[in-house]
Amino acid sequence: MSLYQEMYDQAGFNVKVLPCAIIAPETSGWFAREINSPEDLKGLKMRFFGLGGKVMQKLGVATSLLPGGEIFPALEKGAIDATEFSMPAIDARLGFHKLVKYNYFPGWHQQATVFELLINKKVWEGASDQHQAIIENACKAQVAESFAEGEAIQHTVMQENVEKNGVIIKQWSPEMLDVFKKTWEETAAEESADPFFKKVLDDMNAFRDGYTVWKNNAFLPRK
């Protein structure tokens, strides 16, 4: 959280940031045809977002960042061949399954989406300790609630997609996941030319390295 706040502070925004919701992993995307190798990505026109989009560009994908309401018409007109957007329960509302039938998992590029509450810093600092605690705990409760709901509502949508909508659920092969990981690491190295990006990445990687001790001993399946 200190780094999260520092991001806004060093960018000159006079705000207090609080995470206030989190939703489930995104799908890796909706495709009109199977993707079996990195070569199948080359020349693909795809709606993609953020740093994951930079990874896809390195793999030969022509990416565009379309708002949610413009994705379906773009697919329908052939302006794009594929898209990622959100978790299955949200994607269902946009109707991608009506146009493209291959839905890939896991969403390697966005395993969670964090929603934030931004409050003018002067207003926040002027609030009483009690009011600050109320807001902080309300956001913590909403994070827990949204995380639980996101985990609970995906399977029914996925089952309906397969049973009623003709969707084919696909898992990326280990080879494709290795390609995504390697290309991400190249992208992250390039982005680390920015000192703050590198600071956050180093902090995250240090935590991941330490967390591995707990993960490998506490959870199934064991590798």
Name the more confident of 63 and 221: 63
- Kindly report the backbone phi and psi dihedral angles of residue 210, in degrees, each rounded to the nearest multiple of 5, phi listed first: -70, -40
The strand pair at 62-64 and 82-83 is best described as: unpaired
Structure tokens at 135: 């807001």
Q: Residue 47: beta bridge partners?
A: 64, 83
* pTM, to two decimals: 0.92
- Mean pLDDT across the chain: 96
Residue type, 55: V
Task: Give the residue among 94, 53, 54 at the shortest CA–CA distance from 72.
Answer: 94
CA distances from 190 to 78, 183, 215 (A): 32, 11, 29
* pLDDT at residue 221 greater than cutoff 90: no
Q: Tally the residues of the chain.
A: 223
In the chain the domains, ranked by start, together with CATH numbers, are 2-192 (3.40.190.170)
* pLDDT at residue 33 greater than cutoff 80: yes
In which band, very low, low, confident or very high, does the pLDDT at 177 lie, cut at 50, 70 and 90? very high
Q: At CA 64, angle to CA 196 and CA 164, rounded to 5?
A: 115
pLDDT digits (tens, 9 = 90+) for 48-91: 989 999 999 999 999 999 999 999 999 999 999 999 999 999 99
In which band, very low, low, confident or very high, does the pLDDT at 223 lie, cut at 50, 70 and 90? low
DSSP string, 163-201: HHH--EEEE--HHHHHHHHHHHHHHHHHHTTSHHHHHHH
* pLDDT at residue 222 greater than cutoff 90: no
Residue 29 CB contacts under 8 Å (≥ 6 apart), including other chains: 46, 48, 82, 83, 84, 103, 104
Q: Is 190 left (phi over 0), alpha (psi -120 to 50) or beta?
A: alpha
Mean pLDDT on 150-173: 97
Residue 73: how many other CB atoms lie within 10 Å = 11
- Residue pair 10/128 in contact (Cβ under 8 Å)? The answer is no
B/e letters for 33-47, b = 16+ CB within 10 Å, e = fewer, are eebeeeeebeebbbb
